């Protein structure tokens, strides 16, 4: 809005310099680019990110399996893991030695982390594995993928808007530097006679 007001103010002003009008046009152009380009860039990136993430969600659904594991015994945490200064109060996971059968029929006997508060021998809990029964991270769900895509789009829109504004500031800075350079040259030309008007010299 400031750019539009600036253009209107300089329209018929006799004190208007060429650089004043140019600055107003640069500001208006930057504003229009931010309003038009920023949402388009954010939308394109969000769609591309969502497509890639949803594809990853589908792949993970086919390659990760939830299997039942059985507690053999609890495994003591290392001093570093047990440190109250480093452990979060919300961390209620326990480390246990567990048995489970992988999707391919392979038997596994490995220490894992579980959310059981007080695990005992024979307790059951679920874990995620790959097709060979090795531990894997929980697969990404569709809603989380969409959230990440939206955040990527917003981040891109903000970055593009910031870039446009940075370019506008750089252009205006260079224009102001040029204006000051021309002013310095004018003062140098007028300098020897400045202040001596009417002295007869």
Cα–Cα distance measured from residue 73 to residue 88, given in angstroms and rounded to the nearest whole number = 24
Residue 17 has a pLDDT of: 65
Q: Indicate whether 31 pLDDT > 60.
A: yes
Grouping H, G, I as helix, E, B as strand and the rest as coil, residue 140 is coil
List, for residues 121-170, the tens digit of each pLDDT value.
Answer: 888 999 999 999 899 988 988 999 999 999 999 999 999 999 999 999 99
Token digits of residue 148: 């990440």
Token digits of residue 36: 């038009």
Provide CB contacts within 8 A for 104, sequence distance 6+: 131, 132, 133
Grouping H, G, I as helix, E, B as strand and the rest as coil, residue 79 is helix
- Please give the average per-residue pLDDT across 75-91, as a whole number: 53
- Please give the average per-residue pLDDT across 5-27, as a whole number: 66
List, for residues 54-81, the tens digit of each pLDDT value.
Answer: 999 999 998 999 999 999 988 876 554 5
Q: Which pTM value belongs to this model? A: 0.64
Grouping H, G, I as helix, E, B as strand and the rest as coil, residue 99 is strand
pLDDT confidence tier of residue 32, bands split at 50, 70 and 90: very high
User: Highest mean pLDDT range out of 23-37, 75-89, 179-193?
Assistant: 23-37
Q: What percent of the chain has pLDDT over 70?
A: 77
Cα–Cα distance measured from residue 160 to residue 35, given in angstroms and rounded to the nearest whole number = 11
């Amino acid at each position: 809005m400031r750019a539009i007001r600036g253009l209107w103010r300089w329209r018929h002003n006799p004190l208007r310099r060429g650089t004043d009008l140019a600055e107003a046009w640069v500001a208006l152009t930057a504003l229009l680019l931010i309003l038009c380009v920023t949402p388009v860039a954010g939308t394109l990136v969000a769609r591309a990110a969502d497509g890639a993430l949803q594809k990853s969600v589908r792949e993970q659904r086919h390659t990760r399996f939830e299997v039942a594991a059985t507690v053999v015994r609890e495994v003591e945490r290392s001093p570093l893991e047990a440190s109250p200064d480093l452990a979060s109060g919300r961390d209620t996971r326990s480390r246990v030695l567990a048995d489970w059968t992988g999707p391919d029929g392979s038997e596994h006997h490995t220490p894992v982390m579980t959310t059981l508060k007080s695990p005992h021998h024979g307790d059951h809990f679920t874990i995620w594995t790959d097709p060979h029964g090795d531990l894997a991270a929980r697969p990404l769900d569709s809603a989380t993928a969409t959230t990440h895509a939206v955040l990527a789009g917003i981040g891109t829109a903000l970055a593009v808007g910031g870039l446009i504004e940075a370019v506008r500031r750089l252009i205006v800075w260079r224009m102001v530097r040029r204006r000051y350079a021309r002013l310095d040259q004018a003062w140098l030309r007028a300098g020897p006679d400045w202040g001596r008007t009417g002295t007869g010299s």
